[in-house]
Amino acid sequence: MARAASELSGSAVPDTDGRRRVVVENVRPCVDGGRFPVKRVAGDHVEVTADVLADGHDVVAAVVRRRRDGERRFREVRMQPLGNDRFAASFPVDVLGRHSFSVRAWIDRFATWRDQLGRRVEAGQDVRVELAVGVELIEAAAGSAPAAAATELRKWRDRLAGDDPEAGAAAALDPALAALMAAHDPRPHATDSDVAVPVWVDRPLARFSAWYELFPRSLGGDRHGTLRDVRGELARIARMGFDVLYLPPVHPIGETHRKGRNNMPAAEPGDVGSPWAIGAAAGGHTAVHPDLGSVADVRRLAEACTKRGIALALDIAFQCSPDHPWVSEHPEWFRHRPDGSIRYAENPPKRYEDIYPLDFESDDWAGLWQALADVVRFWLRQGVSVFRVDNPHTKPFAFWEWMIADITRDHPETIFLAEAFTRPRVMERLAKAGFTQSYTYFAWRNGKHELESYLHELTRTGLRDYFRPNFWPNTPDILTEPMQTGGRPTFAARLVLAATLSPSYGIYGPAFELVEQRGLRPGSEEYLDSEKYQLRDWDTAAPGSLEPLVTAVNAARRAHPALQTNERLEFRHVDNDMLVAYTKHTEDRGDIVLCIVNLDPHHTQSGWVDLPLEHLGIDTDGPYQVHDLLADATYTWQGGHNYVELDPHRSSAHVFHIRRRLRTEHDFEYYA
């Protein structure tokens, strides 16, 4: 009596289906093997690639299977071979929230048979036996197809089974039959990719946004400003072209150990303290400083912003002043010294006696997590859905992953910006954990080669699938040495770089427009008379303001889709290291923008810029126009090698819209 080979050899029964011959590998995009979501915005197409291969010479087929969370059925997109066992497909995402996709692949028996049949016909061989095989394949597909398709397939089957082999072969090779069989392939022994890759879809503001930061308390002139005063600024902010207004913490500020002007350890009478020392008798993270107004004023401000096409962003700083209600209500949420006192924040030798950090290793860590998430929910109910999060790298990754997922499950429109100037891997992990956008090292990337290298890292590596940069040339905490010494030309150059190298950028104004460049002391990046510790009276109408340039830059960003993404950012050669040049273009090359920035704030710089005209879809033989969107000037260029010159005291940058020469049916030339 015969026995199974495994019984004869003593081998264990295989724990896999050995008939699955197709291998699916290297599925992209994918973040950490599917541990974290790939990020996209509504309206995007997710471009999927995978290596799909099998032994032998059979034809393989593959589809991308995708669905949105909550959907029961998958939708499929057929993958197309790119060569060398690489396949690709894309699918649109229009609904906010979590989606997922995987790849399914199998031996395409009909396509394999059809390919071999075609070669037999070409060689003049008898194909009657092969046609009988085709009849079996079609019948197998008809057996699992819907009724209408099954009827159509059986009509084709009968054509193959006829008495005329030549007619049968012609029917077998008909592209219409191939398409029908591809749609209803039984897919025997199909292989699925190892993981379903998650995709998180945000609203478009998550990718393309211009942020404007101001301190409401400095809007009152000779008094403490209010949230109502902020409403009075909205027309100017909207006119400049910003779509996010960010306010530092609006909560009550602690009295105990309040910091004085210029971060002095002791406050003088009348000193207003740091907004980041959150909490006083008037309340904590869900209260508004009485001098600013009320929670109702936040709601009214959010509504007024929305009417002008602006999103209101609030600061989320999860820390407390010694006067915060949580200190007495939940002392277990803070770390204590051996004498029982609560530890204040320290970064030796610096001391921050006005701030108590929260203890995320508290025995009541779950209660703490819930209370912090409730803070975000509270402000969502007031109409705020954008949050700039202070120092997230000093809180656990697990907390952020849980909280952001918990919030966005019900409010997928919520945007979180991570203010984390820390080690690269930490910043990356925060982005993976769910932060929508991230501050970057842009402020400290000043030279041509370091800019090019940094942008290559952000746009040409795996970071592009989950790390969305937000470039800020200045913040209330950061006034770099070049900004302190370069004057107006440096401010102008950094503005153009931030706004055109990144789809999202921001400025801390009005300090930026008014070229506030006074450092606290040599070697310090702190401002002298920092607005973090005192009221400032800004004259936004002062002569020499950069407001016109800011307005022109934002207008260019809004008018040109090429500047609204970093997918096709490409640096161009220019024979002068003080000039940096780069292009951006839309996928169809219908919009092309060339930016050239002088990195020298003191001297005129010139050079020759090289453009790959054929790659950009520009006629290599005729002239074309470049229109400067900042100066509203137009130049005619010829060929791919052209001269540029920038005097920083007149203009630090060109932002050129490249107009290609077109012809109408009447051979009339024009540019577009």
Distances (CA, A) of 657 to 176, 387, 498, 559, 622: 46, 34, 18, 10, 17
Q: Is 390 one of the annotated active-site residues of the chain?
A: yes
Contact yes or no for 495/553 (Cβ under 8 A): yes
Cα–Cα dist 314/389, whole Å = 9
Residue spans of alpha helices (H) in 396-440 = 397-410, 424-433
CA 24 to the chain's CA centroid: 28
Q: Which residues contact 217 (CB under 8 A, 6 or more apart)?
A: 224, 225, 272, 275, 289, 291, 292, 535
- Selecting among 130, 323, 390, 547, the annotated active-site residue is 390
Distances (CA, A) of 299 to 278, 305, 649: 20, 10, 43
Cα–Cα dist 309/242, whole Å = 9
Strands 38-41 and 197-202: parallel
Cα–Cα dist 42/97, whole Å = 9
Q: Which residues contact 113 (CB under 8 A, 6 or more apart)?
A: 130, 133, 134, 137
Contact yes or no for 328/290 (Cβ under 8 A): no
Cα–Cα dist 432/447, whole Å = 29
Question: Which token pair is 668?
Answer: 């009339």
Q: Is 329 one of the annotated active-site residues of the chain?
A: no
- Selecting among 419, 465, 547, 628, the annotated active-site residue is 419
Q: Which residues contact 99 (CB under 8 A, 6 or more apart)?
A: 66, 67, 68, 69, 93, 198, 199, 200, 201
Contact yes or no for 427/418 (Cβ under 8 A): yes
Active site residues: 390, 419
